[in-house]
Amino acid sequence: MEALLSLSNDLAGAVERTAPVLVTVQARRHVPSTGIHWRPGVVVTADHTVRRDEDIVVVTADGRSLRAALAGRDPGSDLAVLRVEGLGSATATLGDDAALRVGHMALALGYGPRVSWGVISAIGPRWRSWRGGEIDRLIRLDLVLYPGFSGGPLVDGSGRVVGMNTSGLARESRLAVPMTTVGRVADELLRTGRVARGYLGIGMQPVRLPDPLRAQLGLAGDTGLMVVTVETDGPAARAGVLLGDVLVALDGTAVSDLDDVQAHLGGQRIGTTIAATVVRAGARAELSITVGERPRRGA
């Protein structure tokens, strides 16, 4: 019983230490979301909960309502950054997300404060979200993210913030964006207002390549990506990509899924030419595509 009481007190203490850095973010209808006072005058929250660019209000832990200005957003990592004057001096105490292990206890906090307790259910390597964001490590959670918890902190057993909770990066999965990623992306958003990512302007789906065709054309992989949509006047359309083409390589490297393609489309590639190998009507074709910048939401 003493051990249980000690654990209970430790968890309550972690909540009490973190609560002053929580803010309520009012940037959508109905349910607000949670934000973290990350550094003086800067709040980070989940991008998918910020439904407007203006008239954003944050409510501090002591009940003050303050106007917030959107400094930038990155749908790829589900991160939005707000500038807020008058927040006070309490900022998040950051932990080391690289030290997290499967089975570690963790707390998800929401405005109020409210809390959910569980464990780290899975840790994985660097991965790429379905919107192209590069996340430094996978942190999957076995706990409940109640309505409004997205954008709030994931707190480790010592009461330090190790991630930002979100339900916006994977269906039916509770994830946390590691603070390593939050810091990297937030710094770029504060500098430029956006995270630039390349795009080709095509929709694709994996298809299996018949063995005789692979042998005939000298293709390295057994899977390609069939083009199912081509954006009018997009980079690929201007390069001559057609519906039904099967993309098999970029810059001479075989591609078999969308992650392979995204790996070639970092911000540094915008404006440069990428060599695309496609299979068209049973023949091999080489195209040169000038990589564009992925349009921003609402642009």
- What are 114-143's pLDDT values in tens digits? 999 999 999 999 998 877 788 999 999 999
In this prediction, residue 298 has a pLDDT band, given cuts at 50, 70 and 90, of: very low
- What are 100-115's pLDDT values in tens digits? 999 999 999 999 999 9
Question: Smallest Cα–Cα separation from 175: which of 127, 132, 113?
Answer: 127
All structural domains of the chain, each given as residue ranges with its CATH number in brackets, are: 2-84 (2.40.10.10), 97-181 (2.40.10.10), 198-293 (2.30.42.10)
77 CB contacts (<8 Å, ≥6 apart)?
47, 129, 133, 134, 135, 169, 177, 181, 185, 195
Residue type, 121: S
In this prediction, residue 296 has a pLDDT band, given cuts at 50, 70 and 90, of: low
Q: How far is CA 154 from CA 90, 105, 204, 230, in A?
A: 17, 10, 35, 40
Q: For the chain, what percent of residues have pLDDT higher than 70?
A: 99
Q: What is the mean pLDDT of the segment spanning 241-263?
A: 91
- What are 44-55's pLDDT values in tens digits? 999 999 999 999
- What are 186-231's pLDDT values in tens digits? 999 999 888 888 889 999 999 999 999 999 999 888 999 999 999 9
106 CB contacts (<8 Å, ≥6 apart)?
100, 117, 118, 119, 120, 141, 143, 154, 155, 156, 157, 162
Name which residue leads in pLDDT, 43 or 88: 43
Q: What is the mean pLDDT of the segment spanning 10-26?
A: 94
pTM of the model: 0.79
Backbone angles phi, psi at 235, to 5 degrees: -55, -45
Q: Quick check: 299 pLDDT over 90?
A: no
In this prediction, residue 241 has a pLDDT band, given cuts at 50, 70 and 90, of: very high
User: 236: how many CB neighbours lie within 10 A of its CB?
Assistant: 27
Q: Quick check: 243 pLDDT over 70?
A: yes
Among 78, 97, 156, 245, the active-site one is 78
Q: Quick check: 297 pLDDT over 60?
A: no
Among 33, 116, 129, 150, the active-site one is 150
Q: Active-site residue 10, yes or no?
A: no
Residue 142: the pLDDT is 96
Q: What is the mean pLDDT of the segment spanning 292-298?
A: 70
Q: Active-site residue 78, yes or no?
A: yes
User: 129: how many CB neighbours lie within 10 A of its CB?
Assistant: 20
Residue 1: the pLDDT is 74
Among 48, 77, 116, 256, the active-site one is 48
Q: Quick check: 253 pLDDT over 50?
A: yes
Lowest mean pLDDT among 159-173, 176-190, 273-287: 159-173
**C-alpha to C-alpha distance for 74 and 227, rounded to whole angstroms:** 26
Lowest mean pLDDT among 17-31, 120-134, 150-164, 256-270: 256-270
